[in-house]
Structures are given as C-alpha cells and as structure tokens.
C-alpha cells in the first residue's frame, strides 16, 4: 500500500485493486481536490464533506461500518468529534487493513476516546494523527497521549501548518508536535510504501510525508 499526504487531513491510499482518499476537503482550504472516478472517498466527519470531491469520486462514505474496497478491508468506528458536545458522536475513526497490516486514521476526534476506539487503535501499524490544535483538532499534547495508548509502529502527523493551504483555524506547526512528543522523525519522504521494511518492532517513529 502506498500512502500519500496532500495537506489538512487528506491522504490517498493506493493498492493494486483500490484507490482510497480520506478527508478530501482541499478545495475548501485553497487546494485542489484529488478525488477521481477511480477513487472511493471516506470522510471522518460530515463537516469535511466537499462536493467538489464527492462529484468526482466513484463512491463516498461518511458513516461507520465495515466495507470491502478491492483488496482493502475498511472498518469505521463512530466516536465523539473534537467539537461535539458530550454525548454526541459525529466522527468516525477509520481503520484500513491491507494484508496483515493496518493503517488507522483518527480524524478530528475528541481526546477522550471511548474504550471501543482505544481497543481498535491499539497496536495498529500506522496511526494517522492530526496535531494542529487551536481548538479545531487534537493538539500536540493530546495527540501524544493517544499515541502512547495506541503504541503504533509508526505515526503520520497531519493537519499541521502548511504554507500551501489556508485553514479556517490556524494550525500549530509540525515542529511543535515533534518537540512535545519527543518521537524520532526521519527526513520527510514523498510517499510511504507500507510493507515489512516500513514498520518494524520497537520504538514508535514519526513518518513525515511531504505535502503533494
């Protein structure tokens, strides 16, 4: 599985049989949508849905459940969103299984995760975590706390300050997250190729993907 990052919380996951796009709201923040007629678009929150993406996509999914997209199994667990009132659950945590490996996308979740979500993300190979904070999404402290609970092999941070995009709520920098988390980060890479060489047992490391 190839994983690419386009800014905000937008990712593209590609395998031999599937092209999956997560949280493509790029046209709302000064970018260009990446969805196409070959892609299935998943949204972690209905507030992120962008018609420019959904019109182009083969299929759009914004609800919890279990789905088979080509050779990828997708599980969505409903949870409280970062801006939800207590008792509301308007966000979804998405987990993508390819072969024996998993990529879990948190989205803009409330930091107090339910037991079901904590169990779901525990031991995932790759955890995608927004770190921009400022009241819009998880900040560096909350993201680090969740990473410690999940104990993933690798973390991909998202929703941090990006010069090419203009967020409604200014985002904190990637450096702020790296400083708070004290996690090791290698030099930014263009794409993560999920395979045995990418995630190895041991200390969690940060994978910084260059914004496309």
pLDDT digits (tens, 9 = 90+) for 136-189: 999 999 999 999 999 999 999 999 999 999 998 999 999 999 999 999 898 999
Q: 35 is written with which tokens?
A: 């969805």
pLDDT at 40: 98
Torsion sign over Cα 163, 160, 124, 57: negative
**Spans of all domains in the chain:** 63-206
Residue partners of 55: CB distance under 8 A and separation at least 6: none
- From first to last of the 212 residues of the chain, give the pLDDT tens digit: 999 999 999 999 999 999 999 999 999 999 999 999 999 999 999 999 999 999 999 999 998 999 999 999 999 999 998 888 887 888 999 999 999 999 999 999 999 998 999 999 998 999 999 999 999 999 999 999 999 999 999 999 999 999 999 998 999 999 999 999 999 898 999 999 987 555 665 789 999 999 99
pTM equals 0.95
Rounded Cα distance between 78 and 5, Å, is 24
Contact 106, 118 (CB under 8 A): no
The pLDDT value given to residue 89 = 86
What is the rounded distance in angstroms from the CA atom of residue 62 to the CA atom of residue 39?
14
Q: Does domain 63-206 have CATH number 3.40.1440.60?
A: no
Mean of per-residue pLDDT scores for the chain = 93
């Amino acid at each position: 599985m190839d994983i690419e990052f386009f800014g905000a919380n937008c990712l593209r996951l590609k395998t031999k049989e599937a092209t999956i796009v997560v949280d493509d709201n790029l046209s709302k923040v000064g970018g260009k949508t990446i969805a196409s007629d070959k892609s299935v678009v998943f949204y972690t929150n209905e507030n992120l849905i962008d018609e420019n993406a959904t019109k182009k996509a083969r299929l759009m999914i914004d609800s919890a459940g279990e789905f088979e997209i080509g050779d990828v199994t997708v599980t969505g667990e409903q949870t409280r969103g970062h801006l939800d009132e207590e008792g509301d659950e308007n966000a979804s945590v998405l987990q993508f299984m390819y072969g024996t490996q998993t990529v879990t996308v948190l989205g803009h979740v409330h930091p107090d995760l339910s037991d079901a979500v904590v169990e779901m993300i525990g031991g995932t190979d790759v955890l995608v975590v927004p770190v921009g904070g400022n009241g819009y999404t998880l900040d560096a402290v909350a993201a680090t706390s969740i990473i410690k609970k999940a104990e993933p092999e690798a973390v991909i941070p998202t929703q941090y300050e990006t010069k090419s995009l203009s967020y409604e709520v200014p985002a904190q920098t990637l450096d702020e997250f790296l400083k708070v988390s004290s996690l090791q980060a290698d030099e930014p890479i263009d794409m993560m190729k999920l395979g045995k060489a990418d995630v190895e047992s041991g200390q969690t490391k940060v994978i910084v993907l260059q914004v496309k």
